[in-house]
């Protein structure tokens, strides 16, 4: 039986990153992945293909709306097959890169489904061939997550789909209803709307992008509506049936029945931890009420078995999964390993992008914290005006007494890059004044973050 210091089940951002860090620290590592490609949800059917489509469709949108810049591109057309070919190329390139990195670290890749077989043992069942068992001093579960299905909207892989199929449509759906106005609903809703689909996003909560600060979510809703997306918030989808070749969704809005007609329905109501067939019962691990593996600093209730990424509590994000991977490898190697979940940024890659970190104004109020708020509107930012990107704002929340930064929320072109600046300041315990006194290059949209921080002490230069 092959023996390793560490066996990792799942080759997504949590698993492969954890494997690389463990190998850097001198451990022998086996990485078990059931699919032929490493990279998990994020690389194969998540972050990367969605960002490739968002980029291509934004380019299409810009080209088709270039008149005021003097760009008169007539009859700009979209070739969906080519668009998908490029997306696949991007994914392929990164798949090769990840495999190369893992192999260079001499990590043993086992292709097959991993299941716990008892103390220190994992059985690998390849798609073809016999199952075999390997041994590890420590085992990390990094099996990720899968889309949540609604009981009355079962995925059929064709008309009622999850994000995986919505990244693969071979033609632009005439009418697309998106159930759920979170990250997936907004990103993929925007992709298909930009290509001419009539997209309606139906969200159960009072705002879309519900994890963001309310000011930002409300502004996002106005901006996306202006872009042509139909958005119905505070609306609960309750049923669906097929009539005359089209789908009719039933929903309830403020006690009133509403219906939507759709050719395709994207159900994007969250993801759930993936633990099926892992054999958790063999080692006495019980999942929580949401199917996640309970952990304490990544340790499960079973000795020498750890869990990381989407399969445990915390934001279901690739960068969080990666940080979990690094921390668990360091802990297993006897070093300190830690992730501060309060400082994990959240980004929705629409145009403009929505990015946030730390507390929202409501969270601060719920915690009865005395805070000061600074805001800056992109209408007063030179770079935003120059590049026709004035739709947006920045909001900074700081402790009223100490001025320590507690939260930042941004809706702006390039917000995904800007938020790193806020995270860095917050990681080192920075204050709004620290951020406000940091020199930002001019002209950049990032200057609006500095100005929002300055506005806390009423010293914003370009704001009144
Ligand atoms: P996963 O990436 O799900 O990887 C788990 C791996 O384990 C999979 O490869 C699976 O095949 C394998 N596996 C499962 N069970 C077994 C088993 N028994 N044996 C062997 N292998 C097994 N996050 C961001 O931060 N930014 C984004 O822009 C972003 N965009 C997204 C877009 C979409 C459409 C989706 C669906 C998700 C997106 N996410 C994004 C979320 C991100 O993909 C996840 O948070 C991240 O992939 C979680 O990493 P993980 O390693 O924990 O799990
Ligand atoms: P989500 O939790 O972000 O949003 C789901 C939305 O669906 C919620 O707002 C919820 O209120 C709504 N909803 C639930 N039931 C409903 C119903 N019956 N009718 C109408 N609305 C309903 O989940 P998601 O968008 O599916 O994304 C899944 C996970 O993947 C998330 O954890 C997300 O963070 C991650 N992800 C991240 C990114 C990114 O970082 N850019 C992109 C895509 C996905």
Domains defined along the chain, listed by start: 3-146+272-342 (3.50.50.60), 160-269 (3.50.50.60), 352-454 (3.30.390.30)
For 245, list phi and psi in degrees, rounded to 5: 80, -5
- Ligand 1 atom 14: residue of nearest CA: 143
> Is residue 272 within 8 Å of 145, Cβ to Cβ?
yes
Give the pLDDT confidence of 397-441 residue by residue, as tens digits.
999 999 999 999 999 999 999 999 999 999 999 999 999 999 999
365 CA → ligand 2 middle, Å: 24
Q: Are 412 and 421 in contact (CB under 8 A)?
A: no
Question: In the predicted model, what is the mean pLDDT of residues 159-174?
Answer: 98
Neighbours of 38 (CB within 10 A): 28
Contact 384 CB / ligand 2 (< 6 Å): no
Is residue 13 lining ligand 1, measured as CB closer than 6 Å?
yes
Tell me what the mean pLDDT of segment 438-461 comes to. 97
In tens, the pLDDT along 355-383 reads 999 999 999 999 999 999 999 999 999 99
Provide the percentage of residues in the chain whose pLDDT is more than 70: 100
Separation of CA 5 and ligand 1 centre (Å):
24
**What is the pTM (predicted TM-score) of this model?**
0.98
What's the CA-to-centroid distance between 157 and ligand 1, angstroms? 19
CA of 142 to the centre of ligand 1 (A): 9
**293 in Cβ contact with 285 (< 8 Å):** yes
| pLDDT range class, residue 141, cuts 50, 70, 90 | very high
Cα distance between residue 249 and residue 244, in whole Å: 13
Closest ligand 2 atom to 348 CA: 41
pLDDT of residue 210: 94
Please give, one letter per residue, the 3-state secondary structure of 261-323.
Answer: EECEEEECCCEEECCCCCCHHHHCCCCCCCCCCCCECCECCCCCEEECHHHCCCCCCHHHHHH
> Strand pairing of 145-147 and 271-273?
antiparallel
Ligand 2 site, residue 347, Cβ cutoff 6 A: yes
The DSSP secondary-structure symbol of 320 reads: H
User: Taking the alpha carbons of 422, 425, 428, 430 in that order, is the dihedral positive or negative?
Assistant: negative
- pLDDT per position as a tens digit, 185-232: 999 999 999 999 999 999 999 999 999 999 999 999 999 999 999 999
Q: What is the pLDDT of residue 73?
A: 92
The number of the ligand 1 atom at minimal distance from the alpha carbon of 112 is 20
The reported pLDDT for the residue numbered 151 is 96
- Mean pLDDT of the 246-267 span: 96
The pLDDT of residue 294: 98
The Å distance, Cα 12 to ligand 1 centre, comes to 5
Closest residue by Cα to residue 174 from 201, 199, 202, 203: 199
Does ligand 2 have an atom closer than 6 angstroms to the CB of 316?
yes
Alpha helices (H) along 78-182: 80-104, 163-166
Mean pLDDT taken over the chain? 97
In this predicted structure, the answer to whether residue 316 has a pLDDT above a threshold of 90 is yes
Q: What is the 3-state secondary structure (H, E, C) of 12-43?
A: CHHHHHHHHHHHHCCCCEEEEECCCCCCHHHH
User: Rounded mean pLDDT of 235-242?
Assistant: 94
Q: Which atom of ligand 1 is nearest to the CA of 167?
A: 34
Choose the residue to mutate in 160, 179, 182 for probing ligand 2, maximizing ligand atoms within 8 Å of C-beta. 182
Give pLDDT tens digits for 84-94.
999 999 999 99
Determine the residue of 209, 270, 351, 356 to mutate for testing ligand 2's pocket, defined as the one with the most ligand atoms within 8 A of the Cβ atom. 270
pLDDT of the residue at 464: 83
Name residue, tokens 């291509």.
Answer: 56
Quick: pLDDT tens for 61-120. 999 999 999 999 988 999 999 999 999 999 999 999 999 999 999 999 999 999 999 999
Q: Which atom of ligand 1 is nearest to the CA of 349?
A: 28
In sequence order, what are the residues at sequence separation of 6 or more whose Cβ sits closer than 8 angstroms to the Cβ of residue 156? none
Residue nearest to atom 6 of ligand 2 (CA): 180
Q: Ligand 2 center to residue 62 CA distance, Å?
A: 27
Other beta carbons within 10 angstroms of residue 464's beta carbon come to: 5
Asked whether 134 lines ligand 1 (CB < 6 A), one says no
Active site residues: 442
């Amino acid at each position: 039986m092959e023996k390793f210091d560490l066996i990792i089940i799942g080759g997504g951002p949590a698993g492969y990153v954890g494997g690389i860090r463990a190998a850097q620290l001198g451990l022998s590592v086996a990485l078990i992945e059931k699919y032929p490609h490493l990279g998990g949800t994020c690389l194969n059917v998540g972050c990367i293909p969605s960002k490739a489509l968002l980029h291509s469709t934004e380019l299409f949108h810009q080209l088709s709306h270039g008149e005021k810049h003097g760009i008169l591109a007539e009859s700009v057309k979209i070739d969906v097959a080519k668009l998908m070919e490029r997306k696949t190329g991007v994914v392929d390139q990164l798949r090769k890169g990840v495999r190369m990195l893992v192999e260079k670290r001499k990590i043993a890749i086992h292709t097959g489904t991993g299941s716990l077989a008892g103390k220190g043992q994992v059985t690998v069942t390849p798609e073809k061939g016999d199952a075999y068992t390997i041994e590890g001093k420590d085992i990390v579960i990094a099996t990720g997550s899968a889309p949540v299905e609604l009981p009355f909207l079962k995925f059929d892989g064709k008309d009622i789909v999850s994000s995986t199929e919505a990244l693969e449509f071979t033609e632009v759906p005439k009418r697309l209803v998106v159930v759920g106005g979170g990250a997936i609903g907004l990103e993929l809703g925007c992709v298909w709307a930009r290509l001419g689909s009539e997209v309606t996003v139906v969200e159960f909560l009072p705002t879309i992008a519900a994890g963001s600060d309310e000011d930002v979510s409300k502004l996002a809703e106005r901006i996306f509506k202006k872009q042509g997306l139909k958005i119905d918030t505070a609306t609960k989808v309750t049923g669906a049936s097929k009539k005359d070749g089209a789908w009719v969704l039933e929903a309830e809005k403020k006690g009133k029945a509403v219906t939507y007609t759709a050719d395709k329905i994207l159900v994007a109501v969250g993801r759930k931890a993936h633990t099926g067939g892992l054999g958790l019962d063999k080692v006495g691990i019980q999942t929580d009420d949401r199917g996640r593996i309970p952990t304490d600093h990544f340790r499960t209730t079973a000795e020498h078995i750890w869990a990381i990424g989407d399969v445990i509590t915390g934001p279901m994000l690739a960068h969080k999964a990666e940080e979990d991977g690094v921390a668990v490898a360091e802990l297993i190697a006897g070093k300190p390993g830690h992730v501060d979940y309060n400082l994990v940024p959240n980004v929705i890659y629409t145009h403009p992008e929505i990015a946030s970190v730390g507390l929202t104004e409501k969270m601060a109020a719920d915690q009865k914290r005395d805070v000061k708020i600074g805001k800056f509107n992109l209408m007063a930012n030179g770079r935003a005006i120059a590049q026709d990107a004035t739709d947006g704002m920045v909001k900074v929340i700081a402790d009223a007494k100490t001025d320590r930064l507690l939260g930042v929320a941004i809706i702006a072109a390039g917000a995904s890059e800007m938020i790193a600046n806020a995270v860095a300041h917050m990681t080192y315990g920075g204050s709004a004044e620290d951020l406000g006194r940091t020199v930002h290059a001019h002209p950049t949209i990032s200057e609006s973050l500095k100005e929002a921080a300055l506005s806390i002490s009423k010293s914003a230069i370009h704001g009144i």
